[in-house]
Chains A and B, each alone.
Chain A
Amino acid sequence: AQSVTQLGSHVSVSEGALVLLRCNYSSSVPPYLFWYVQYPNQGLQLLLKYTSAATLVKGINGFEAEFKKSETSFHLTKPSAHMSDAAEYFCAVSDSGGYQKVTFGTGTKLQVIP
């Protein structure tokens, strides 16, 4: 069984401030981990993914995430928030088997305050 927990359904940051969105996972096998972003009235778009190579993963739009096995975490960060980063962010986990069933978290809405 696998699951992800996103701490904080809503996060507010000031424009230019650090963005930190938290994700903890549970998996009985080595996981693959993902962050997706969803803008209003749109589908989900892949930001970045971890597949057991480098533990620090860089994605689009200046986001990055670090896989920490000891903490079972995969937190998403961006050094400086931009107004266009306001969206909902979903962490997801899949197993490394043939089917790779994906389990999504409940999402974190990011508000960027001017």
Chain B
Amino acid sequence: EADIYQTPRYLVIGTGKKITLECSQTMGHDKMYWYQQDPGMELHLIHYSYGVNSTEKGDLSSESTVSRIRTEHFPLTLESARPSHTSQYLCASSERTGLTDTQYFGPGTRLTVL
């Protein structure tokens, strides 16, 4: 059982608000990821981190930012939310098992921006 947590699970906010989606893992994994998931679409990687003080943008352009000050914590921030940010956001961490990285996912945060 993977120990990766996301809060809040559901969030409905108005346009222009600043929000932070929290993600924590207790497995000591160095690599962490943020994905955006929309119905019928593939998961899109928006940010990733190799470890503390490491952050990189993913394939999908995103107006969000991330930080990695502690190994276990990888929050995602939207400075000014817009309706186009409405989506499900999945956090993951990974460890090398054998030849591959195995990703463990949190339960997701479903964000609705009105």
Q: Contact: A43 with B107, CB < 8 Å?
A: yes
A76-114: which residues lie under 8 A (CB-CB) from chain B?
90, 94, 96, 100-107
Instruction: Tell whether B87 is near chain A: CB-to-CB under 8 Å.
Output: no
Classify chain A's interface size: 20 to 34
- In the docked arrangement, what's the CA distance between A45 and B102, Å? 10
Q: Kindly identify which residue among A102, A103, A106, A107 contacts B103, using a CB–CB cutoff of 8 Å.
A: A102
Q: Contact: A94 with B108, CB < 8 Å?
A: no
CB distance from B8 to the nearest CB of A (A): 13
Question: What residues of chain A lie closer than 8 Å to B34, measured between beta carbons?
Answer: none
Question: What residues of chain A lie closer than 8 Å to B103, measured between beta carbons?
Answer: 44, 46, 102
Q: Kindly identify which residue among B2, B4, B107 contacts A41, using a CB–CB cutoff of 8 Å.
A: B107
Q: Contact: B90 with A44, CB < 8 Å?
A: yes
Instruction: Tell whether B79 is near chain A: CB-to-CB under 8 Å.
Output: no
- In the docked arrangement, what's the CA distance between A100 and B42, Å? 17
CB distance from B50 to the nearest CB of A (A): 9
CB distance from A5 to the nearest CB of B (A): 10
- In the docked arrangement, what's the CA distance between A101 and B103, Å? 11
Q: Contact: B107 with A42, CB < 8 Å?
A: yes
Q: Contact: B101 with A94, CB < 8 Å?
A: yes
Instruction: Tell whether B12 is near chain A: CB-to-CB under 8 Å.
Output: no
Q: Contact: B107 with A100, CB < 8 Å?
A: no
Question: What residues of chain A lie closer than 8 Å to B102, measured between beta carbons?
Answer: 46, 49
**Would you give the 0/1 interface string for A42-82, flagging 1 where the beta carbon is closer than 8 Å to chain B?**
11111001011000000000000000000000000000000
- In the docked arrangement, what's the CA distance between A39 and B41, Å? 16
Q: Kindly identify which residue among A51, A102, A104 contacts B98, using a CB–CB cutoff of 8 Å.
A: A51
Instruction: Tell whether B92 is near chain A: CB-to-CB under 8 Å.
Output: yes
B residues within 8 Å of A by Cβ?
2, 4, 6, 9, 40-43, 45, 90, 92, 98-108
A residues within 8 Å of B by Cβ?
9, 32, 36, 41-46, 49, 51-52, 90, 94, 96, 100-107
Pairs across A and B, CB under 8 Å, 13 listed: A9-B40, A32-B100, A41-B9, A43-B108, A44-B103, A44-B105, A49-B102, A51-B98, A96-B99, A101-B45, A104-B42, A106-B40, A107-B42
